[in-house]
Amino acid sequence: MLTRFVVDRRQPFAGGHEFDSAGAYEVVAGKVHGEVAPDDVRNACIVNLANAPRNERGAVEYSCDVHLLRPKDADRGSGRILYEAPNRGSKRALMFLNDAPECNDPVTLEHAGNGFLMRWGYAWVTSGWQGDLIPWDNGMTLEVPVATDEDRSIQRFVRTEICVTRPGVRSLPLSGDPRVRSHPAAILDSSEAELTVRMHSYGRREIVPPGDWAFAAEGGDGSREVVPSASHLHLPGGFVPGAIYELVYMARDPLVLGLGFAAVRDLVSFLRYEEEDGAGNRNPLAAGTGMEKAYGWGRSQSGRFLRDLVYQGFNEDEHGRQVFDAIAPHASGGGRMFLNYEFARPVTSCQQHTNQLEPELFPFAYNVMEDPQT
């Protein structure tokens, strides 16, 4: 349930340019706060929701960034929402649907591209759904809690792959991506973990001796001072470009990343059906004719996110209402999403060379099939 829609910024879009019959558009940006009831059957599939901290109402809280472009005169809009699930925090829909330049804070006429979505009166909406992203300027992020086992740290063995494309790299986040939080190591003794290297996905793994690597990072001041770090892998001799480094280690403190599905469900449902939030703030799309339809769009990773959102039942809100009328996963392959797991890694995807053991989940289609062999 969305509890507060906090608007931090309103401004004219495209300098007040009139987009045919839809007229001028407005930017609305801010933060959404919500909460999820663990005992609601529609939330039951969220992994570790029962182990997340709760507020005084017994609900688990989250918050996320939100960004809208809407017709300034709601009566001139089409009553349609185009919701974009951002790719690793980046906005891409205006690039692909409006032929606009890449931009994570669209405000100018140039950012409107050919104006396709605006000329047809769509309300464009995007929000954060990936809870392990590190905040960055205009990136769309989601804040979710850490799960615990009765106030004790949850610790499990996890597996991660790291592959670099350039020489001279000696330290990297355990996530393999500087944009993404790592699952921190519970034990910094490298002899309690295993690092292997291979040149091909199905090649022979060679063990890297524990004394040849460390849970550590180089200082960012250019001094190359190496300091212990629960979130980084350090190889003094450097990573070999193209080689696959596979690390199995004891991780701690998993984030409840499956809340990303609920955050999108709750936001789109609120914008489509509600007049105001729990704090009395008005729905920014509720004026005029309101919203009659909602469509979801995502590219690559975020397209797989939307596909998995539908598969896991989050296209129905907590009142039993349909959220999206349709989704359009663009250039998303056939898989779903490594998100609603303990110690998930939603930033990754199965590639020709790396991450071929990631659980993108069979079957790769919606239709139900029987395996004649089983």
Q: Give me the residue spans of the domains in the chain.
A: 2-146+256-330, 155-252
Q: What's the number of CA atoms in the CB half-sphere (13 Å) around residue 28?
A: 20
Q: What are the strands, taking DSSP E only, across 240-358?
A: 244-252, 293-299, 326-330
The CA–CA distances, whole Å, from 133 to 163, 179, 232, 275, 368 equal: 19, 6, 16, 31, 34
Question: pLDDT value at position 281?
Answer: 95
Tell me which residue of 99, 124, 106 sits closest to 14, measured CA to CA: 106
Residue 167 DSSP SS3: coil
Structural contact between residues 282 and 17, judged by C-beta atoms closer than 8 angstroms: no
Q: Report how far residue 2's alpha carbon sits from residue 284's, in angstroms, rounded to the nearest whole number.
A: 13
Of 20, 123, 143, residue with least CA distance to 68: 123
CATH number of 2-146+256-330: 3.40.50
pLDDT of 366? 57
Residue type for position 157? F
Compute mean pLDDT per 10 residues along the chain, 374 residues long, and list them.
Answer: 97 98 98 97 97 98 99 96 98 98 98 98 98 95 98 97 95 95 98 98 96 91 85 97 98 99 98 95 86 96 95 96 96 87 90 80 63 77
Nearest to 158 by CA among 140, 175, 143, 171: 175
Residue 221 has what pLDDT?
66
- Residue 155 forms beta bridges with which residues? 252
Quick one: pLDDT at residue 356?
A: 79
Position 365 scores a pLDDT of: 56
**DSSP, res 205:** P
Q: Which helix (H) or strand (E) holds 307?
A: helix 301-311
pLDDT at 373: 80
> How far is 262 from 174, CA to CA, in rounded Å?
27
